[in-house]
Structure 1
């Protein structure tokens, strides 16, 4: 590989083992690496993950080894689902869905099964992340983005002490969940209920849908924009949560529809939010099933199966019925 990539073998080995972070190479060199790998037959989808992988490295490194006077990367940019999956891979060994179905490649000699951090590093990471969340909370409006993103990542820590801290901290935000419609703290409330779901508490998410989404056009737009960014339908990086307030103009609704179809399978714990968001997307864009009939058929099958499920909440059942009708009536 070193010969094919025209680099020194020690350099290539350093990249593979992590001794030399790929994010430290010059921009021109990184661009050349991508193009050489593509020419050698690398999967474009995997090459796409280099960016979120380097973002994850930066978040992890900046958290474990904070630099005095520098802003945490989570305070300057809204992280994406791909980056979150990469961070989770390092924290708990869960393979990102984009890579989960790929066959493992045989390697000579001992090799790690995942880029899993050591137990001491994970402990330091979460401890510093909790400190960053508390510090951001004291910063007021300027700390909103850092606070909510730290809280979300803290929910990956399943230790008993960490869980107690998370429950206390998240329930301290319950007043945000009870506010109706859009507020400057709307994104924090959404991240709070998402983290509570990860801890096994589903009711706050349903309360948030009822109070923080239903009946408020600004909140519904913000929710679809949030999903569009999270699922890759908005491709431009965002430096803060302000993009959620804008009327959708630069995202791909068909791609978002496909993201909802995948999410309903991969993250059943968030079914209520997926269903409501799918309902909001299709009731305002009833033409979408015509744009991708195959995807519409897949979603129609999914919604029919969910309607037969006894654990569906009353609101989700009503919205699923509407979604199923729109899919059935607008596919031809």
Structure 2
């Protein structure tokens, strides 16, 4: 689907794209329908596809998603059937997923279109054409059932936490009704803890999943109790920076969250969080808390990105008066407002 959108963004027909790629139209049709897996092409061929599309003025944003979409495909394939090759080799255990991968996976599972779709020029389509990646009903049911099973995977080793928490997170975003269990190790972060461990990330994914299912209270308890130390606060910011792309290197496990010397400015994180300061967002309290942490460490963002700051000012007042956010969130919003006032006075 991403390849198709990239081709269409350049105004190319399948026939024309096949011509410039020096392949048959059936090959292009197979790539775009999924009959020929794009993950099966060589890295050289994939790079050639991307370079050709860019040369023909396809959307650079969509072309950059081609390798990301392959990873999303592998995750969906890994969740379609019970995994028998050893859980350490599962696609959800091979790296920390980010916003782009997550949006593509949930697009296929729930139909919620990624944000880049809105930025593409509408195209005139000939005949029936799917508007999202298509998964059969039986496959979707198997994926959902397996995600729930993986999200309850009990492990005594930290290496298995990544698999568990990412399956739990995707299950929540996909709107699955059955709640996963919280691991014993992660449960202490809903009470109190003064240090970070991979179980912190496990607890975070659990409460985020619950919030997406309409239950914000575990998330609020996590925010109130799981950030008492510098390393937990750093983990919250580093993870969000990674999530939105302020940290560009891919990570194989969650240890990067407390790695010293991480360098990021927050230029993507700041508008990402402010745009999501709407009371109907299921993670509104987490967005407020992360924004509060961010502006304590990167105060210059409010000056460097004035458009986002103006949007923030307009949303703070409405949210403070809203009954949809927690008491802690209202306190943090007032603290942000005071900080903005101090900067304006100076």
TM-score (norm: length of structure 1): 0.90
Query: Structure 1 residue 20 and structure 2 residue 33: aligned?
Result: no
Distance 2:43 2:71 in 1: 15
Unaligned runs of 5+ in 1: none
Q: Which of 97, 102, 120 is 2:138 aligned to?
A: 120
> In angstroms, what is the RMSD of aligned CA positions?
2.2
Q: Pick closer, same or farther for the CA change 1:72–1:14 going to 2, 3 Å.
A: same
Q: How do 1:134-149 residues align onto structure 2 when only pairs under 5 Å count?
A: 134=152, 136-149=153-166
Distance 2:121 2:111 in 1: 16
Query: Structure 1 residue 244 and structure 2 residue 244: aligned?
Result: no
Q: Pick closer, same or farther for the CA change 1:270–1:69 going to 2, 3 Å.
A: closer
Local SS of the residue matching 1:264:
coil
Distance 1:310 1:139 in 2: 41
Q: Which moved more, 1:195-204 or 1:139-148?
A: 139-148
Query: Structure 1 residue 202 and structure 2 residue 219: aligned?
Result: no
Q: Which of 227, 230, 236 is 2:243 aligned to?
A: 230
Q: Pick closer, same or farther for the CA change 1:286–1:226 going to 2, 3 Å.
A: same
Q: Which of 68, 74, 78 is 2:85 aligned to?
A: 68
Deviations 1:208-240 (A, max 9, x none): 111001x32111100001101111111110000
Distance 1:32 1:330 in 2: 49
Query: Structure 1 residue 311 and structure 2 residue 324: aligned?
Result: yes
Aligned length in residues? 325
Local SS of the residue matching 1:60:
helix
Unaligned runs of 5+ in 2: 1-16
Query: In the TM superposition, what is the alpha-carbon distance from 1:17 to its structure 2 partner?
Result: 0.9
Distance 1:170 1:119 in 2: 28
Distance 1:328 1:23 in 2: 51
Distance 1:25 1:305 in 2: 51
* 2:172/2:208 contact within 8 Å kept: no
Distance 1:99 1:267 in 2: 22
Distance 2:215 2:310 in 1: 32
Local SS of the residue matching 1:138:
coil
Query: In the TM superposition, what is the alpha-carbon distance from 1:139 to its structure 2 partner?
Result: 4.8
Match in the other structure for 2:149: 131
TM-score (norm: length of structure 2): 0.86
Query: In the TM superposition, what is the alpha-carbon distance from 1:273 to its structure 2 partner?
Result: 0.8
Q: Pick closer, same or farther for the CA change 1:174–1:100 going to 2, 3 Å.
A: farther
